Amino acid sequence: MRRSTVTAGLAFAAALALTTSTATLPAAAAQAPAAPAPAPAAAPAVAALAAPDISVTNVQAHLSQFQSIATSNGGNRRSGSAGYTASVNYVKSKLQAVGYTVTEQNCTNCTYPGNNVIAEWPGGAPADQVIMFGAHLDGVTAGPGINDNASGSSVLLENALVLAQQNPSLTKRVRFAWWNGEEQGLQGSKFYVNSLSTAQKGYIKGYYNFDMVASTNGGYFINRVTSTTAAPLKAYWDSLGLSPEENVEGQGRSDDYSFQQGGIPTSGYAMGASARKTSAQAAKWGGTANASYDPCYHRSCDTTSNINATGLNRSADGVAYAIWDQAVGGGTPSNDFSVAVSPTAGSVARGASTTATVSTATTSGSAQTVALSASGAPSGVTVSFSPSSVTSGGSSTMTIAASASAATGTYTVTVTGTGSATRTATYSVTVTGTGGCAGGQLVGNSGFESGATVWTASSGVITNSASQAAHAGSYKAWLGGYGASRTQTLSQSLAVPAGCASYTLSFWLHIDTAETTSTRQYDKLTVAVGGTTLATYSNLNKATGYVQRTFDVAAYAGQTVTLTFAGVEDASLQTSFVVDDVTLTAS
């Protein structure tokens, strides 16, 4: 979502009364995670609709790809950047592989010229009957832009792939779009709408926009919530007892506004940006009152860690419901099912085992045989199912057994159900024990010689600039040095094994400064592990060369933690914090 600089003054037409849809919610609605606040209201009783259950695991896989793209291209996916171009190529290749007609439309008057991606599923109704779904593909320079807006882009991409996989008969043409230049003022979508003739605008019977649909402290918001266009989106979320509200914060700030200005009916989902959640919303939806919906909005921390998986899942399934409600013909529902694991996490000691229940449900059509399998278990850990296949609606006992020499640490096991479709769920297993030490040096790209690989960093932090020497090699991480108000971060997620005798974090730090005081801290570098501060350095710690800093981090054994360096400069007189050769050694 673009940053708002003035209060949006949208003059909406008089709100239309919400009409009841003739289609009903999929059975999958009952499988969505429960809202954290009051018990959900009952789903409306209407006729069956064969909308598929969209795998949130698959959506998260797209998010991981966008994160990798940003990490490999300067830490962001801003329009006009290599990260944006790589994002376009990723989306386009996925769509073309399943049969979409894909067009790249170059936005020549965007601030950063780049391409919109327009994809249409072949067939369906005549060209004058179109339902369109869109999300902006670009982010801001400050970070990788995973909630804003890889979340909307990934939800749309997975829905497009599922539509191609199921290939239902269509009553309207389905068109998807990923926009360039939203963050500079909705430029890509505005360019597209302006390129349409009056007749072509009239062909589009509704445009649905999805922007920031996984905010960690989010709410459930719908654009023009009382409009006829919004009815299927609202019906799905109402079935989960969410009581969605009007997207007041987003009015005029995302790509639906370009279509609205073109006279095209619009709606869409959002979960909120920098505005603060009210006490009433926190009571209804859970979360923290008087805190922003997305604390990482337009910041470097907008990574895959900044995702509300429950909201992401509800948004993805709501999009599917809208597609099927608006564009899919009648007929016998396709057979589909869902998979869930309870509990979703557990631990097992070396030489022991633990169990969890794998449940399945028929979400549309008839029950079917589902074969169960698992992947992602570490060395020395086996996963088995009893029974190994079930009829959808049945359950199985999953047993996780660890050998005496199993690798310790925390791992994600993916449980896969295979039938007419493939559905997945995840289970987090922590292997404990002292029967050996799966240790070694845990920090990837510790000397930064591979650039931003493995690390998540603010733009320009990882550099081979000759202005500051590396401790070894050519690259290092340079935080600060601007002589102006600035905050920069550098981080890496680390799986710290259990069972080792010692755990030592070490790095080399060089501090130089233009500050002349010997008593006051103006600029600071904070080093933290797992959210706990290990040390703080400042302009008072300046030195002529590198100094090695070491810490005992045994308290984090058996955990997956994030190692973070955060540099903060005040408004004048630079301080440079130069970090190199970072290691965490377990032995």
Tokens matching residue 288: 């923290």
Distance in angstroms (rounded) separating the CA atoms of residues 88 and 76:
14
Identify the structural domains of the chain with CATH numbers, from first to last: 56-328 (3.40.630.10), 336-432 (2.60.40.10), 440-586 (2.60.120.260)
Q: What mean pLDDT do residues 187-198 have?
A: 96
User: For all residues of the chain together, what is the average pLDDT?
Assistant: 87
CA distances from 22 to 4, 32, 48, 235, 265 (A): 38, 22, 9, 11, 19
Instruction: With a cut of 50, say whether residue 554 has pLDDT above it.
Output: yes
- Highest mean pLDDT out of 27-31, 438-442, 485-489: 485-489
Distance in angstroms (rounded) separating the CA atoms of residues 128 and 257:
22
pLDDT of residue 16: 28
pLDDT of residue 179: 98
The answer to whether the Cα torsion of 65, 67, 69, 71 is positive or negative is negative
If one compares 50 and 332, the residue with the highest pLDDT of the two is 50
When pLDDT is cut at 50, 70 and 90, the band that residue 423 belongs to is confident
SS (H, E, C) 75-97: CCCECCCHHHHHHHHHHHHHHHH
Instruction: With a cut of 90, say whether residue 142 has pLDDT above it.
Output: yes
When pLDDT is cut at 50, 70 and 90, the band that residue 9 belongs to is very low
Q: What mean pLDDT do residues 149-164 have?
A: 96
Burial (CB count <10 Å: 0-12, 13-18, 19+), residue 123: exposed
For residue 269, which of 225, 321, 304 has the smallest C-alpha distance?
225
End-to-end CA distance of the chain: 46
Residues 290-342 have pLDDT tens digits of: 999 999 999 999 999 999 999 999 999 999 999 999 998 654 446 778 888 99
Residues of the chain above pLDDT 90, percent? 71
pLDDT of residue 510: 97
pLDDT of residue 314: 96
Q: Comparing 113-127, 206-220, 237-251, which segment has the lowest mean pLDDT?
A: 113-127
DSSP assignment, residue 214?
-
Q: What mean pLDDT do residues 364-388 have?
A: 90
The DSSP bridge pattern shows strands 130-136 and 204-210 to be parallel
When pLDDT is cut at 50, 70 and 90, the band that residue 25 belongs to is very low
Query: Largest Cα–Cα distance in the chain?
Result: 79
Instruction: With a cut of 70, say whether residue 490 has pLDDT above it.
Output: yes
Give, in degrees to the nearest 5, the angle at Cα 341 between 340 and 344: 125
pLDDT of residue 558: 79
Q: What residues contact residue 385 under an 8 Å CB cut-off, 6+ apart?
A: 358, 372, 373, 374, 396, 397, 398, 399
CA distances from 191 to 97, 108, 109, 117 (A): 27, 8, 8, 12
Q: What mean pLDDT do residues 520-525 have?
A: 95
Instruction: With a cut of 90, say whether residue 273 has pLDDT above it.
Output: yes
Which residue matches tokens 């000759």? 466
Residues of the chain above pLDDT 70, percent? 89
pLDDT of residue 504: 94
Which residues have a catalytic role annotated?
Answer: 182
Whether the Cβ atoms of residue 177 and residue 134 lie closer than 8 Å to each other? yes
pLDDT of residue 49: 54
Instruction: With a cut of 50, say whether residue 39 has pLDDT above it.
Output: no
Which residue matches tokens 């007609």? 101
Amino acid (one-letter) located at 361: A
Which residue matches tokens 């997945």? 424
Residues 62-109 have pLDDT tens digits of: 999 999 999 999 999 999 999 999 999 999 999 999 899 999 999 999
Instruction: With a cut of 50, say whether residue 195 has pLDDT above it.
Output: yes
Amino acid (one-letter) located at 178: W
Q: What mean pLDDT do residues 239-262 have?
A: 95
Instruction: With a cut of 70, say whether residue 494 has pLDDT above it.
Output: yes
pLDDT of residue 40: 35
Strands across the sheet with 456-457, in order? 456-457, 486-495, 560-569, 524-529, 532-538
